[in-house]
């Protein structure tokens, strides 16, 4: 009997959460954090073993596990990984470990906090592994409740407002997706919710049905990414959420939206996807330009990074809209790079807030005098965010622009302009926060301990590593991207704009 590796990766955090929750008596925050770190570390190790034994030349789903869950309804427990999902599974495992390290000093209801973090990781991992649309929907919704409580209990002054707003927006996203998945199931007539079966129905879907259903899917995932004007929940959630939750929110949760567009939009409705691609390119350009300008207007560093995160998700959307290997490969690379860079930036903002007691730029200045290491890391993260060569952001954005310029030159040029805006607001933030005169009230702030920089160090090293050796990532997803483009071309080459 083969080892169910993916089920171990998927449910080990849940078992760890249940074990921690059911421990009798009082549990100290020191014990809770070690327990959570051990569980998350072992989960990441298990996902690493999956990656080690993964066949990088194959485009087929691997480590597949299928159990007929509700066969009369065509619902199955069907999980697997391929080149599109494996990088995001690894990214999730890594960021959960680093987010727990980032929360090392948390002592408010620590047991519940770490239980929710572990449950959240199961939901995200399940969504990336699911090969059944109902299973994906259940995992997609599972992460909603833990994240709501993480924001509403451990967040800032407006935490209840931010948590409720997140809940309502995400619930609306789930409703749109459920209607789309059920419609596809009933219309296909194949009595299966399997993604692979629905993507190859006995009778092709009429184009009108594809337009309507893909519109629902795009709307649902546009809330999650998020795309302007459905983005307003995210800045509030980031500002009020604790640092570790912001890391996970920007690092992996937003990727559920872009991953869903690729997996369900392009995979199941290729003809409509080609017709919708121009709209995605327009939305991508709006996202980049609007969110970048909004970032420039912020005085709260965390809110600035939140809008920057929204802008950079626009690059992923542009890459998807290109429908060619370079652009789609760039979209996949940008998902990984964005998770690393945004996670790094939120970690550093958290350190500044913890030591200085404020994130407001008018109240900061000269922090290089008291937080030199944090300042140096912030410079590196800012350059990565602006696409400096040698960083992962440069590779991702270059691939996206190279693929996008072939199909949508105007939208691509507008997105390229976003790099200029990014450089402007990131440099302005560095100048105001870390240079100039140090305010008198910040002269005696606590110093950063060496261990507090470990999570940021890991992410910065990965950022540089992927920038210098991009094939470490591209080798994973390139075969699947190439196959997806071939399928699109085979069915819709006559519809592609020239």
The answer to the question of residue 63 being in a domain is no
**pTM for this entry:** 0.93
Number of domains in the chain: 1
Please say if the pLDDT value at position 496 is more than 60: no
Question: Mean of the pLDDT values across residues 277-294?
Answer: 93
pLDDT digits (tens, 9 = 90+) for 342-397: 999 999 999 999 888 888 898 988 888 888 899 999 999 999 998 889 999 999 99
pLDDT digits (tens, 9 = 90+) for 263-283: 998 888 888 888 888 999 999
The tokens for 202 are 């006995």
Question: Mean of the pLDDT values across residues 89-103?
Answer: 94
Please say if the pLDDT value at position 203 is more than 70: no
User: Which residue in 218, 360, 344 sits closest to 279, CA to CA?
Assistant: 218
In which band, very low, low, confident or very high, does the pLDDT at 490 lie, cut at 50, 70 and 90? Answer: low
The answer to the question of residue 71 being in a domain is no
CA atoms within 13 A on the CB side of 24: 0
Mean pLDDT over each residue of the chain, to the nearest integer: 90
The answer to the question of residue 36 being in a domain is no
The answer to the question of residue 52 being in a domain is no
The tokens for 227 are 């795309």
Rounded Cα distance, 370 and 438, in Å: 9
Give the DSSP letter of residue 323. -
Buried b (16+ CB within 10 A) or exposed e, 298-337: bebbbbbbbbbbbbbbbbbbbbbbbbbbbbbbbbbbbbbb
Please say if the pLDDT value at position 158 is more than 90: no
For the chain, the maximum distance between any two Cα atoms, rounded to a whole number of angstroms, is: 72
The answer to the question of residue 119 being in a domain is no
Q: How far is CA 265 from CA 179, 219, 484, in A?
A: 14, 11, 11
Q: What is the pLDDT of residue 491?
A: 61
Question: Mean of the pLDDT values across residues 122-128?
Answer: 94
CA-based end-to-end distance of the chain: 52
Domain residues for the domain of 319 are 275-498
pLDDT digits (tens, 9 = 90+) for 426-462: 999 999 999 888 888 887 888 888 888 999 999 999 9
Rounded Cα distance, 183 and 186, in Å: 5
The answer to the question of residue 255 being in a domain is no
Rounded Cα distance, 424 and 42, in Å: 41
Question: Mean of the pLDDT values across residues 322-326?
Answer: 91
Question: Mean of the pLDDT values across residues 289-315?
Answer: 93
Rounded Cα distance, 382 and 185, in Å: 45
Q: What is the pLDDT of residue 93?
A: 94
Q: Which residues contact 239 (CB under 8 A, 6 or more apart)?
A: 156, 158, 162, 300, 302, 303, 306
CA atoms within 13 A on the CB side of 278: 5
The answer to the question of residue 492 being in a domain is yes
Q: What is the pLDDT of residue 494?
A: 45
The answer to the question of residue 41 being in a domain is no
Question: Mean of the pLDDT values across residues 170-176?
Answer: 91
């Amino acid at each position: 009997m083969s080892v169910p590796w993916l089920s171990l990766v998927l449910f080990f955090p849940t078992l760890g959460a249940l074990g921690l929750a059911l421990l009798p008596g009082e549990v100290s925050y020191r014990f809770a954090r070690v327990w959570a770190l051990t569980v998350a570390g072992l989960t990441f190790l298990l996902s690493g073993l999956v990656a080690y034994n993964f066949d990088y030349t194959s485009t087929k789903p691997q480590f597949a596990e299928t159990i007929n869950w509700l066969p009369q309804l065509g619902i199955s427990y069907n999980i697997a990984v391929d080149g599109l999902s494996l990088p995001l599974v690894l990214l999730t495992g890594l960021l959960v470990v680093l987010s727990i390290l980032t929360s090392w000093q948390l002592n408010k209801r620590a047991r519940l906090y770490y239980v929710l973090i572990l449950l959240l990781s199961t939901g995200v991992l399940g969504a990336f592994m699911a090969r059944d649309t109902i299973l994906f929907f259940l995992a997609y919704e599972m992460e909603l409740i833990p994240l709501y409580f993480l924001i509403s209990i451990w967040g800032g002054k407006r935490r209840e407002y931010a948590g409720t707003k997140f809940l309502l927006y995400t619930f609306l996203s789930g409703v749109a997706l459920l209607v789309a998945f059920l419609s596809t199931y009933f219309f296909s007539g194949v009595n299966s919710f399997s993604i692979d079966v629905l993507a190859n129905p006995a009778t092709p879907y009429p184009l009108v049905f594809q337009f309507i259903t893909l519109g629902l899917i795009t709307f649902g995932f546009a809330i999650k990414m998020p795309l302007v004007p459905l983005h307003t929940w995210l800045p509030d959630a980031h500002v009020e959420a604790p640092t570790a939750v912001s890391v996970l929110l920007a690092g992996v949760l937003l990727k559920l939206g872009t991953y869903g567009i690729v997996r369900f939009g392009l995979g199941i409705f290729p003809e409509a996807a080609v017709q919708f691609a121009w709209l995605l390119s327009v939305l991508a350009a709006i996202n980049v330009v609007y969110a970048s300008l909004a970032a420039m207007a912020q005085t709260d560093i965390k809110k600035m990074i939140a809008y920057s995160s929204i802008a950079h998700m626009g690059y992923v959307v542009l890459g998807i809209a290109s429908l060619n290997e370079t652009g789609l490969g760039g979209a996949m690379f940008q998902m990984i790079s964005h998770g690393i860079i945004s996670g790094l930036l939120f970690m550093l903002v958290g350190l500044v807030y913890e030591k200085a007691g404020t994130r407001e730029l008018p109240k900061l200045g000269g922090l290089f005098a008291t937080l030199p290491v944090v300042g140096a890391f912030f410079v590196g993260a800012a350059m990565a965010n602006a696409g400096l060569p040698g960083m992962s952001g440069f590779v991702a954005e270059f691939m996206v622009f190279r693929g996008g310029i072939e199909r949508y030159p105007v939208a691509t040029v507008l997105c390229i302009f976003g790099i200029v805006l990014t450089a402007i607001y990131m440099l302005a933030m560095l100048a105001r926060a870390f240079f100039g005169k140090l305010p008198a009230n910040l002269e005696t702030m606590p110093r950063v301990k060496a261990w507090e920089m470990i999570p940021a160090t890991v992410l910065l090293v990965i950022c540089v590593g992927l920038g210098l050796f991009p094939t470490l990532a591209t080798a994973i997803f390139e075969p699947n991207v190439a196959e997806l483009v071939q399928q699109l071309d085979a069915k819709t080459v006559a519809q592609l704009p020239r």
